[in-house]
Amino acid sequence: MHDPNPGLDRLTTPCLVLDEARMTRNIRRLAAKAEALGVTLRPHLKTAKSVDVARRVLTGGSGPATVSTLAEAEVFAAAGVQDILYAVGIAPQKLPRVLELRARGCALVILIDSLAQAQAVAEAAQAAGQPIPALIEIDSDGHRGGLRAGDPELIEIGRRLHDSGAELRGVMTHAGESYGVDGSAAHAVFAGKERDATVAAARALREAGLPCPVVSVGSTPTAHAAEDLSGVTELRAGVYMFFDLVMAGIGVCDTNDIALSVLTTVIGHQHDRGWVLVDAGWMAMSRDRGTAAQTVDQGYGVACDLGGRIYPDLIMRQANQEHGILALRPGSTERLPNLPVGTRLRILPNHACATAAQHDRYHVIPEDGSGALMEWNRFGGW
């Protein structure tokens, strides 16, 4: 018989487990969706922070890709990724690192949403005598940064970039508020907002005689729900490759699609309280409680056996630094499974980006069924 967990019983716990078969299925699903929509997929590598994952998720070895830190840009550029969008508004102090990456051959594009940044970018480009291409961030849902599509400052910023030799590359948005609504129809509304806001901004720039080749949108919920991306050139998403309980809770995936879990060992019980104590606390799971505001609160995660089968209603109800307390959900009629000290379990995480960030490597269950676990490094920092 095929062993579904080659070596999981020999790992030091807690540790991070990645199910390659699920990841591949998730990667293919969004790649097919982007193709059907007629847009380029620019995967966000901030969830994975792993060169091994990047090799599997990027359609070409050299990109396109999205990152959330310059440390990611530097690591992925060194691994051969050449087409990178750094999708967090630039701090002027970071421009020397941007220039250095570009000088080393990485076609790095940055993000701005203010005249102050446009001025800093223009000055850095002029001083260096080389362009620094930038997208202008558009606010499509009030989530965080960005200009409204009709803001007259948009044209001013575009002109400042264009006239200075910095290079106006286009516009982008991220409907982060889509994480807060449930179901494909609701996500499609946000996908429409992303498209409408960026296409309107692109039109405004072009009508002012400015270039706007790139129109970039995306989040995992909106990417999967989008129906028509006319006028959009590229789609970004990150957590779709692993998925998590937050995404399952709003209907973007099923819990059986979640590729990431934390391996843990039972270290004790409080029988009269119905508690099973494990050696994965918030240090291994992260403090993310993203399902707390959802219809079903999953605590710090959902407990599965070594083969990935969910124990009905068994969740991590509380977490200390290195202790997790598993118990049945409030009101459950299930029976607590017998899990003696030393039993190994896997916990599905609320938020893949946050949980993965607590670990320095993935222990990968290979999809080819070859048996031996692989180890893929991941990195952090800025």
Q: Which CB atom, from 57 or from 325, has the smaller least distance to its own copies? A: 325
Pair of tokens at residue 320: 């200390």
Q: If binding is defined by CB under 8 A, does position 306 make contact with its own copies?
A: no
Q: C-beta of 38: minimal distance to its own copies in Å?
A: 29
Binding to its own copies in span 240-269, by CB under 8 A: 265-269
Among 80, 89, 337, 366, binds its own copies (CB under 8 A): 89
Burial 268-293 (b: 16+ CB within 10 A, else e): ebeeeeebbbbbbbbbbbbebbbbee
Size of the site for its own copies (CB under 8 A): 61
The residue to which tokens 């209603």 are assigned: 313
For 221-250, give the DSSP string. HHHHH----TT--EEEESGGGT--HHHHHT
Q: Given the complex with its own copies, which of 39 and 345 has the nearer CB atom? A: 345
Compose the 336-365 pattern: x for residues touching its own copies by CB under 8 A, - for all others: ----xxx--------x-xx--xxxx-----
| Separation of alpha carbons 203 and 3, rounded Å | 56
Number of helices (H), then strands (E), in the chain? 11, 17
As measured in angstroms, the least distance from the Cβ of 41 to its own copies is: 20
Query: Can you tell me the distance from the alpha carbon of 378 to that of 46, in angstroms, rounded to the nearest whole number?
Result: 11
Closest Cα to residue 350, out of 238, 274, 250, 226?
A: 250
Question: Does residue 100 interact with its own copies by CB under 8 A?
Answer: no
Task: Write the binding mask 114 to 153 for its own copies: x where contact by CB under 8 A, - elsewhere.
Answer: x-xx--x------------------x--x-xx--------
Structure tokens at 284: 């291994």
Footprint of its own copies on this chain (CB under 8 A)?
A: 12-15, 46, 68-69, 88-94, 97, 113-114, 116-117, 120, 139, 142, 144-145, 176, 265-270, 273, 275, 277, 279, 282-284, 286-289, 318, 320-323, 325, 340-342, 351, 353-354, 357-360, 380-382
